[in-house]
Structure 1
Amino acid sequence: MNPDLTDPVPAPAGKSEASAANAVSALPPVYAPLYQQIKALLMQSLQSGKWKPGELIPSETELAARFKVSQGTVRKAIDELAAENLVVRRQGKGTFVATHEEEKVQFRFLRLSPDAGNRLQPENRILEVRRLRAPAEVARLLALKAGDAVIFIRRLQCFAGAPTIVEEIWLPGNLFKGLTLERLAEYKGPMYALFEQEFGTRMIRASEKLRAVAAEGRISELLQVDAATPLLHVERVSLTYGEQPVELRRGWYLTRDYHYHNELS
Structure 2
Amino acid sequence: MNLSDINLPVASFSPLYEQIKAMILASLQASEWLPGEAIPSEMELAARFAVSQGTVRKAIDELASQNLLVRRQGKGTFVATHQEDDWQYRFLHLAPDSGMKFHLANRFLVCTKTEANAYIANLLKLKAGDPIIHIDRIQSYAGQPIVFEEIWLPGVRFTGLDLDTLNAWHGTVYGLYESQFATHMVRAEEKIKAIAADETLARHLHLAPGAPLLSVERVAFTYGNKPVEIRHARYDTSEQHYENKLN
Residue segments in structure 1 that go unaligned for 5+ positions in a row: 8-23
1:65 CA drift (Å): 1.4
Q: 8 Å contact 2:82–2:89 — kept in the other structure?
A: no
The alignment covers a number of residue pairs equal to: 247
TM-score, length-scaled by structure 1: 0.90
**1:122 match:** 104
**1:93 match:** 75
1:28 CA drift (Å): 2.9
1:105 maps to amino acid: W
3-state secondary structure, aligned to 1:251: strand
Q: 8 Å contact 2:219–2:229 — kept in the other structure?
A: yes
**1:264 match:** 246
1:264 CA drift (Å): 1.3
Aligned residue among 184, 195, 198 for 1:213:
195
Q: Percent identity?
A: 53
The aligned runs of 1:76-87 (5 Å cut-off) are 76-87=58-69
**1:110 match:** 92
Looking at structure 1, the residues matched to 11 and 82 of structure 2 have their Cα atoms a distance apart, in angstroms, of 31
3-state secondary structure, aligned to 1:108: coil
Aligned residue among 142, 149, 153 for 1:167:
149
Give a deviation string over 1:64-86, Cα, whole Å, max 9, x none: 11111111111111011111111
1:162 CA drift (Å): 0.9
3-state secondary structure, aligned to 2:20: helix
1:104 CA drift (Å): 2.3
Aligned residue among 200, 217, 223 for 1:235:
217
- The answer to whether residue 132 in structure 2 is matched with residue 132 in structure 1 is no
Higher helix fraction: Structure 1 or Structure 2? Answer: 1
Let me know the Cα RMSD of the aligned residues. 1.2
Looking at structure 2, the residues matched to 186 and 254 of structure 1 have their Cα atoms a distance apart, in angstroms, of 26
Looking at structure 2, the residues matched to 119 and 253 of structure 1 have their Cα atoms a distance apart, in angstroms, of 17
Q: 8 Å contact 1:5–1:41 — kept in the other structure?
A: no
1:143 CA drift (Å): 0.7
Looking at structure 1, the residues matched to 126 and 199 of structure 2 have their Cα atoms a distance apart, in angstroms, of 29
Looking at structure 2, the residues matched to 78 and 142 of structure 1 have their Cα atoms a distance apart, in angstroms, of 29
The aligned runs of 1:6-155 (5 Å cut-off) are 6-7=6-7, 27-155=9-137
